[in-house]
Amino acid sequence: MSEVRTERAGSALLITIDRPEARNAVNAAVATQLSAALDELEATPELRVGVLTGAGGAFSAGMDLKAALKGESPVVGDRGLGGLTEAELTKPLIAAIEGFALGGGFELALACDLIVAAEGARFGLPEVKRGLIAAAGGVVRLPQRIPHHLAMEILLTGEPIDGVRAGALGIANRVVPDGETVATALQLAEQIALNAPLALAAVKAVVRSQDPWAAQRAESARLMTTADVREGMTAFAERRAPQWTGQ
């Protein structure tokens, strides 16, 4: 049985973790199938943006501890938890969060480029309550996203925050009523997909670079040689929507 479902919605790929009976916790099957879904997004030219969500009113409760005790790994190669937290994706990925995004679930969300949160969502990194740290990117990414002392409160207490608080801290791009996150995320995906795919990939490459200034120069120079840049300039001059080819 598939534990990760994919559905094309225009130029977006909706990816749903489908283990509601386990609050969409990540076991080996979820990790393998999520990694494959991300590969589908990357390999399909007509797909421009991904939206990641969970079934049954929860995003993900993180690593499946029962499966881990049986020896299952939620890590895929060098791509991290769920094949996502250390993956270098070229296409934008939006997390649509309903219900729990705890531990590894929160880390999956932090690995996305944008986050849409339901007001009643619960974000938390409770690993310290189990003698662990948020080692799938939580201790790295969270202090990069929000002020140091606020990140440290979440990391050191292990206590969750709701979607409204996540929005106030800047963790979430949008905070919407419960049940509306996927629709909102797909709207954001449509807006992003109007832009040049090579430029979107270049933005991501610069942002994650160890030397962003050098990466910025290299990506800008490369983009200036592309057909999409010429198309973008021509479309502007002709007052029409550009027709991107990704070339």
> Which residues are the active-site residues?
107, 127
Residue 209 three-state SS: coil
Q: Quick one: DSSP state of residue 195? A: S
The count of other CB atoms within 10 Å of the CB of residue 103 is 27
CB 63 within 8 A of CB 103: yes
The region that residue 11 occupies, defined by phi over 0 for left and psi between -120 and 50 for alpha, beta otherwise, is alpha
For helices 227-238 and 197-208, angle between their N-to-C axes, nearest 10 degrees: 120
For residues 172 and 167, what is the distance between their CA atoms, to the nearest angstrom?
A: 5
The region that residue 64 occupies, defined by phi over 0 for left and psi between -120 and 50 for alpha, beta otherwise, is beta
Residue at 106: amino acid letter: F
Beta strands 122-124; 161-162: pairing state:
antiparallel
For residues 112 and 41, what is the distance between their CA atoms, to the nearest angstrom?
A: 14
| Neighbour-count burial for 147-167, b at 16+ CB within 10 Å, e otherwise | eeebbeebbeebebbbbebbb
| Residues paired with 59 in a beta bridge | none
